[in-house]
Structure 1
Amino acid sequence: MAKPMTKTQLVAALAEEMGTDKKSAAAALDAIANIITREVSAGGAVTIPGVGKIYCRERPERMVRNPATGEQFKKDADRVVKMTIAKALKDSVNG
């Protein structure tokens, strides 16, 4: 398995793809991350065409177990961020 792309590598690739400098590409990447964070935190969802949909899901209160001690306790309801991958991306990986 290949190593994940770092932010520096992603900014460099984005700058090359956009035909701009790395500073502009970094600003664009940060702006996208801020928009996604703001929208998902508010309970909305963001769809990135060709990549997938990022959304927040509510998890109910439930019983969990501490693996070290085996003790069971009640975990409060919370919210988690989920991502559904787009079919086009799945097909390109498996194709």
Structure 2
Amino acid sequence: MARKMAKKAKKTTAKAAPAVRKPPKVTATAGKTVTASALMQSVADHMGMKKVQAKDFVDGYLDVVKAYVMKGAKVKIGDVGMIMIRHRKARMGRNPQTGEPVKIKASKKLAFRQSAVMKAQVMGGR
């Protein structure tokens, strides 16, 4: 009986190292609010794309984050932090003017918890 020929192994090509990106150029100053337009421009410049593409990307990303949060998931955003919904139980409160007890309904609250990495960067190692 004749033996089957072994298949030749495919040649593997070395993967290129991921491109190292420069830190983003930020023009904001302390105490000033960054507009959505300025944010989109910074993303576009940093990623090397057009501002319209950056807007589409960021809008799509935020839509997905909102959808997950609305379903009750905790969404971790890199080394920045986590966005989630916190459920607050019904409880008894007090009217500050009359001192009369008042029942406070259960509610939901949008919450953000900063990551330890971001906190360390902001606090400067304190």
TM-score normalised per structure 1? 0.86
* 1:9-88 alignment, distance < 5 Å: 9-64=38-93, 73-88=102-117
> Which structure would you say has the larger RCO, counting Cα contacts within 8 Å and 6 or more residues apart?
1
Following TM superposition, by how much is the alpha carbon of 1:93 offset from its aligned partner in structure 2, in angstroms?
1.1
Structure 2: gaps spanning 5 or more residues: 1-29
Identify if the C-alpha distance between structure 1 residues 27 and 75 changes in structure 2 by more than 3 Å, giving closer, same or farther: same
C-alpha offsets along residues 54-93 of structure 1, whole Å, 9 cap, x if unaligned?
Answer: 11111011234566x5575322111111111111111111
CA shift, 1:10, in A, is 0.6
- Misfit runs of 4+, over 6 Å: none
Bigger radius of gyration: 2
Long gaps (5+) in structure 1? none
Whose strand fraction is larger, Structure 1's or Structure 2's?
1
Aligned residues: 94
Identity over aligned pairs, percent: 31
In structure 2, distance between residues paired with 1:65 and 1:14: 48
Over the residues paired in the alignment, what is the CA RMSD in angstroms? 1.8
Letter of the 2:74 counterpart: A
Cα distance between partner residues in 2 of 1:24 and 1:92: 30
| Cα distance in structure 1, aligned partners of 2:40 and 2:92 | 42
- Bigger share in helix: 1
Matched position secondary structure for 1:44:
coil
Where 1:37 maps in the other structure, the secondary structure is: helix
